């Protein structure tokens, strides 16, 4: 279990902002074995800073990061896989050599690194490009190499900053599949993303950050329940004034009236709708992550 | 294999496979080889073309064994004048009494002609003169020109190699910092391993370069016959060059890596490196001066002061003998300087290399806790 507790980080100011910036104001969350954790928030909310602190690239002013109950050390982080926001690869190095090199830096033997590299190259569909210099690859393929670099040493934890940004739908699917596979193997995966539909589809838990604070965190289902479900009723050509007195909003499109509301006596509403006209749709709807996000950040 | 060796090995394999490295190595080897043959092709011994009109040839060859003398006979003075003006001969001896030239005579040739003429006349009257015995009570200067030549070549060689490798270190550091690859690297290796591996790797390449040049240069010198003029103690000079290269490179490379870690873009490298290149240039000029004045006060003092000593001392050692205690002292001081720069440079690098974006100020880095 990866536990992040009360992280605070203040960046020193420059000439234009003498007070500096409070980047993290007590961020904390927990990721269990085999859990996929989505990290969402506006730009500058503190996602990258948090991830960089977990990876030891930055030092927090206070707070702690523990892995399996122990404070995270350099030796522990060496067994993590990391994909920073700004991609970094040796442009002139060949694909296979690069992946292997990082495997060896993480402590793999030459044989183990070679084998892991071969497997990853096959799995990520880079077989034909293994001997090419990274700079000759498309953005999508470079991203695959970057992922391979994060995965080559079979990490215990994966921390990925915006892994899906700039990828075409097929590459997104390939990357998502690779992450899900690791997750099933018991590896906690944390990734940040602005693609909320993707986060909603892939993640077990979500953390929403705003201005350096965790405004909502937990299982996607729990967050939905907190926001509450909504009832949606569509009536065709209803009698005017049929929904007077009901809480909710009506939108009219042609002769269809759609009423969206939360709370109220659903059976009573159904009766009124049927009396007013032809009911085309009656059902509860779960809030999307986008709605949860808007609600949380508001 | 630990991080340090892995990083060093990557630097070496990446460079060795690049065309630039191979071509650079071949070109420098050719240049060094050519330099060893150059004196033979360009310099050569003095050469005199002389003519006679109604005279006997003077025994110049006996007086100047190194010179090449060629005689030709002319039927009369008119023909001799014509040949002189055409530049076919340098001087013509007429009737054993006067010498015709086109303009003023070459001073050495003049002295040579006068003295042999005198000797011949005296010898004819039965006077025999023992030649003066020349003896030096100062340093053995027989090899002076060979030593100076070697020292100059060494100056250029050491300067080119050190500045070349040092720039490679700087560009490598910025490549890793600018592309943020350093963020991934530093989650699996320590900063000192990354820095040390890079310096060692590129240093090994520089060393390979230097050894190649020394081998090619000495080989070509033997082949061209230049080596005959080499002073005794050459193995010592060569070993000294290798040791001094390692020390000088370690000093400048560490300095260069820490300066480069302050910036994030290749365009800023030359700017941030200015103090270092200035320092290297100064060292270069002093070393050049030391090659021609190896026993002067300036050369003696500067060859003890790090980091100048790294280039000036080997040059002095090649240009003239240097007492062992001076070499030892100079080396101890330089090793201390390298240790100091390593400690400071590693600290600057560690603190600055993750601070991407605008150029980091050296003062901020040193003040930070």
pLDDT tens-digit readout, B28-52 = 888 888 877 776 665 556 778 889 8
Enclosing domain of residue A170: 2-225
A170 in the same domain as A251: no
CB within 8 Å: A74 and B184? no
Q: How many domains does chain A have?
A: 2
Overall average pLDDT of the A165-194 stretch: 89
A211 in the same domain as A91: yes
Contacts of A93 in chain B (CB under 8 A): 14
State the pLDDT at residue A102.
Answer: 94
- Tokens describing residue A88: 């970094």
Candidates A55, A78, A104; nearest CB to B1 = A104
B305 in the same domain as B169: yes
For B80, B268, B347, the CA distances from B340, given in Å and listed in that order, are 74, 26, 11
B286 in the same domain as B233: yes
Overall average pLDDT of the B273-302 stretch: 87
Q: A79 to chain B nearest CA, in Å?
A: 8
B36 in the same domain as B51: no
Question: Which residue in B184, B363, B367 has the most chain A C-beta atoms within 10 A of its own C-beta, making it the best mutation to test that interface?
Answer: B184
Residue B348 included in any domain: yes
Q: In angstroms, rounded to a whole number, what is the distance separating the alpha carbons of residues B186 and A58? A: 11
Residue B308 included in any domain: yes
B151 in the same domain as B120: no
Contacts of A150 in chain B (CB under 8 A): 184
A12 in the same domain as A69: yes
Lowest mean pLDDT among A124-138, B121-135, B212-226: B121-135
Residue bearing the bigger pLDDT, B39 or B262: B262
Domain boundary among B72, B93, B124: B124
For B185, B252, B260, the CA distances from B256, given in Å and listed in that order, are 20, 6, 6
Question: Which residue in A81, A104, A110, A160 has the most chain B C-beta atoms within 10 A of its own C-beta, making it the best mutation to test that interface?
Answer: A104
CB within 8 Å: A82 and B180? no
CATH assignment at residue B92: 3.40.190.10
A7, A50 contact by CB (below 8 A): yes
State the pLDDT at residue B368.
Answer: 65
Among residues A237, A235, A216, A238, the alpha carbon closest in space to that of A227 is found at A216
Q: A199 to chain B nearest CA, in Å?
A: 24
B235 in the same domain as B316: yes
CATH assignment at residue A134: 3.40.50.300
B260 in the same domain as B211: yes
CB within 8 Å: A84 and B14? no
Contacts of A92 in chain B (CB under 8 A): 14
Question: Which residue in A75, A88, A112, A143 has the most chain B C-beta atoms within 10 A of its own C-beta, making it the best mutation to test that interface?
Answer: A88
pLDDT band at B320; cut points 50, 70, 90: confident
A109 in the same domain as A6: yes
Lowest mean pLDDT among A67-71, A178-182, B58-62, B113-117: B58-62
Q: A256 to chain B nearest CA, in Å?
A: 55
Candidates A82, A86, A87; nearest CB to B187 = A82
The SS3 assignment for B93 reads strand
Contacts of B3 in chain A (CB under 8 A): 105
A243 in the same domain as A176: no
CB within 8 Å: B183 and A149? no
- Tokens describing residue A25: 């104001």
CB within 8 Å: A105 and B190? no
**% residues pLDDT > 70 (chain B):** 95
Domain boundary among A225, A251, A275: A225
Place of tokens 């720039």: B167
- Tokens describing residue B251: 């000093």
A242 in the same domain as A174: no
Residue burial A90-107, b: 16+ Cβ < 10 Å; e: rest:
beebbbbbbbbbbbbbbb
pLDDT band at A157; cut points 50, 70, 90: very high
> What is chain B's mean pLDDT, rounded?
85
A133 in the same domain as A27: yes
pLDDT band at B195; cut points 50, 70, 90: very high
Residue B306 included in any domain: yes
Residue B56 included in any domain: yes
B241 in the same domain as B211: yes
B155 in the same domain as B116: no
Q: What is the pLDDT of residues A5-53, one digit of tens each?
A: 999 998 876 666 667 788 888 899 999 999 999 999 888 888 999 999 9
A207, A39 contact by CB (below 8 A): yes
Q: In angstroms, rounded to a whole number, what is the distance separating the alpha carbons of residues A124 and A121? A: 5
Contacts of B185 in chain A (CB under 8 A): 105
Among residues A21, A12, A30, the alpha carbon closest in space to that of A188 is found at A30
Beta-strand (E) ranges in chain A? 2-11, 21-31, 36-41, 62-67, 70-71, 80-83, 157-160, 189-192, 205-210, 213-219, 230-236, 249-253, 256-261, 278-285
A250, A272 contact by CB (below 8 A): no
Domain boundary among B124, B158, B175: B124
A265 in the same domain as A145: no
Q: How many domains does chain B have?
A: 2
| Chain center to CA of B39 | 15
User: Is B133 a residue whose pLDDT tops 60?
Assistant: yes
Residue B135 included in any domain: no
Contacts of A105 in chain B (CB under 8 A): 3, 6-7, 185, 188-189
B290 in the same domain as B164: yes
Residue B298 included in any domain: yes
A211 in the same domain as A122: yes
ipTM above 0.85, yes or no: no
Kind of pairing between the strands at A256-261 and A21-31: unpaired
Residue B247 included in any domain: yes
A83 in the same domain as A187: yes
Q: In angstroms, rounded to a whole number, what is the distance separating the alpha carbons of residues A205 and A217? A: 7
Q: Work out how many CB contacts closer than 8 A connect A with B.
A: 59
Q: In angstroms, rounded to a whole number, what is the distance separating the alpha carbons of residues B346 and B107? A: 62
Q: B211 to chain A nearest CA, in Å?
A: 27
CB within 8 Å: B180 and A101? no
> What is chain A's mean pLDDT, rounded?
87
- Please calculate the CA angle A184-A186-A189 and round it to the nearest 5 degrees: 85
Most confident among A6-10, B1-5, B54-58, B365-369 (mean pLDDT): A6-10
Domain boundary among A225, A243, A261: A225
Domain boundary among A202, A225, A248: A225
Q: A89 to chain B nearest CA, in Å?
A: 6
Interface of chain A toward chain B, CB-CB under 8 angstroms = 52, 55-58, 74, 77-78, 80, 82, 84, 86-93, 101-102, 104-107, 110, 149-150
Domain boundary among B124, B158, B191: B124
CB within 8 Å: A88 and B1? no
Candidates A84, A101, A107; nearest CB to B183 = A84
A214 in the same domain as A232: no
Lowest mean pLDDT among A138-142, A158-162, B181-185, B223-227: B223-227
A188, A34 contact by CB (below 8 A): yes
**pTM exceeding 0.95:** no
CB within 8 Å: A82 and B183? yes
B11, B197 contact by CB (below 8 A): yes
Task: For residue B205, give every residue at least 6 positions away whose Cβ sits within 8 Å of its Cβ, in sequence order, or none.
Answer: B11, B12, B15, B16, B21, B165, B168
For A110, B163, B166, B254, B281, the CA distances from B311, given in Å and listed in that order, are 40, 12, 15, 17, 11
Among residues A237, A216, A217, the alpha carbon closest in space to that of A297 is found at A216
B185 in the same domain as B72: no
**For A285, phi and psi rounded to 5 degrees?**
-125, 140
Kind of pairing between the strands at A205-210 and A21-31: unpaired
Among residues A121, A150, A146, A122, the alpha carbon closest in space to that of A134 is found at A146
Enclosing domain of residue B80: 47-124
- Tokens describing residue B15: 């460079």
**Chain A residue with minimum CA distance to B194:** A105
B147 in the same domain as B62: no
Contacts of B356 in chain A (CB under 8 A): 86
Q: How many other C-beta atoms are found inside a 10 Å radius of the C-beta of residue B232?
A: 8
CATH assignment at residue A239: 3.30.70
Residue B343 included in any domain: yes
Contacts of B189 in chain A (CB under 8 A): 105
A148 in the same domain as A73: yes
**Chain A residue with minimum CA distance to B183:** A57
B314 in the same domain as B275: yes
């Amino acid at each position: 279990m990866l536990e992040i507790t009360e992280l605070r980080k203040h960046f020193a100011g420059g000439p234009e902002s003498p007070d500096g910036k409070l980047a993290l104001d007590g961020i904390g969350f927990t990721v269990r074995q085999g859990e996929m954790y989505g990290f969402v928030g506006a730009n500058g909310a503190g996602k990258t800073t948090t991830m960089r602190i977990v990876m030891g690239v930055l030092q927090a002013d206070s707070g702690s990061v523990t892995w399996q109950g122990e404070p995270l050390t350099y030796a522990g982080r060496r067994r993590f896989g990391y994909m920073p926001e700004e991609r970094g690869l040796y442009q002139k190095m060949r694909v296979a050599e690069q992946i292997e090199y990082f495997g060896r830096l993480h402590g793999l033997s030459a044989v183990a690194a070679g084998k892991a590299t071969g497997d990853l190259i096959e799995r990520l569909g880079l077989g034909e490009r293994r001997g090419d210099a990274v700079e000759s690859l498309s953005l999508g393929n470079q991203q695959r190499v970057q992922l391979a670099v994060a995965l080559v040493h079979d990490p215990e934890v994966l921390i990925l900053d915006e892994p899906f940004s700039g990828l075409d739908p097929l590459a997104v699917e390939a990357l998502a599949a690779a992450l899900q596979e690791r997750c099933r193997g018991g590896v906690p995966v944390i990734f940040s993303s602005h693609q909320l539909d993707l986060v909603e589809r892939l993640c077990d838990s979500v953390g929403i950050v705003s201005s350096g604070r965790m405004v909502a965190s937990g299982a996607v289902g729990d967050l939905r329940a907190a926001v509450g479900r909504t009832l949606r009723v569509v009536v065709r050509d209803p009698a005017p004034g049929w929904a007077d007195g009901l809480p909710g909003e009506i939108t009219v499109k042609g002769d269809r009236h759609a009423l969206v509301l939360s709370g109220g006596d659903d059976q009573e509403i159904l009766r009124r709708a049927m009396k007013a006209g032809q009911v085309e749709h009656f059902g509860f709807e779960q809030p999307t992550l986008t709605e949860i996000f808007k609600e949380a950040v508001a | 294999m630990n991080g340090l060796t892995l990083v060093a090995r990557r630097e070496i394999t990446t460079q060795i496979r690049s065309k630039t490295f191979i071509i650079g190595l071949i070109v420098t080897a050719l240049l060094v080889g050519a330099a060893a043959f150059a004196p033979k092709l360009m310099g050569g011994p003095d050469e005199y073309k002389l003519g006679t009109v109604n005279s006997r040839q003077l025994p110049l060859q006996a007086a100047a064994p190194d010179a090449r003398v060629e005689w030709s006979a002319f039927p009369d003075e008119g023909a001799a004048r014509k040949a002189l003006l055409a530049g076919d001969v340098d001087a013509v001896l007429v009737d054993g009494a006067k010498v015709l030239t086109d303009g003023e005579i070459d001073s050495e040739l003049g002295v040579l002609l006068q003295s042999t003429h005198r000797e011949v006349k005296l010898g004819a009257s039965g006077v025999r003169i023992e030649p003066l015995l020349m003896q030096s009570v100062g340093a053995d200067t027989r090899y002076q020109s060979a030593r100076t030549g070697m020292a100059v070549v060494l100056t250029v060689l050491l300067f080119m190699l050190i500045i070349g490798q040092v720039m490679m270190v700087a560009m490598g550091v910025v490549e890793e910092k600018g592309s943020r690859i350093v963020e991934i690297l530093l989650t699996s290796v320590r900063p000192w391993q990354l820095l040390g591996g890079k310096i060692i790797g590129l240093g090994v390449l520089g060393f390979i370069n230097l050894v190649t040049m020394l081998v090619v240069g000495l080989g070509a010198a033997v082949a061209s016959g230049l080596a005959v003029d080499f002073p005794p103690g050459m193995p010592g000079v060569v070993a000294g060059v290798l040791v001094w290269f390692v020390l000088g490179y370690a000093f400048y490379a560490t300095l260069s890596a820490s300066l480069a870690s302050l910036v994030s873009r290749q365009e800023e490298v030359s700017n941030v490196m200015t103090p270092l290149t200035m320092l290297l240039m100064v060292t270069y000029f002093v070393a050049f001066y030391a090659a021609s004045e190896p026993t002067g006060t300036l050369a003696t003092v500067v060859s003890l002061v790090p980091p100048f000593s790294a280039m000036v001392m080997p040059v002095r050692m090649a240009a003239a003998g240097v007492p062992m205690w001076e070499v030892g002292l100079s080396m101890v001081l330089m090793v201390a300087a390298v240790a100091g720069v390593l400690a400071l440079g590693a600290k600057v690098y560690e603190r600055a290399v993750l601070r991407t974006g605008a150029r980091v100020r050296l003062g901020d880095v040193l003040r930070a806790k």
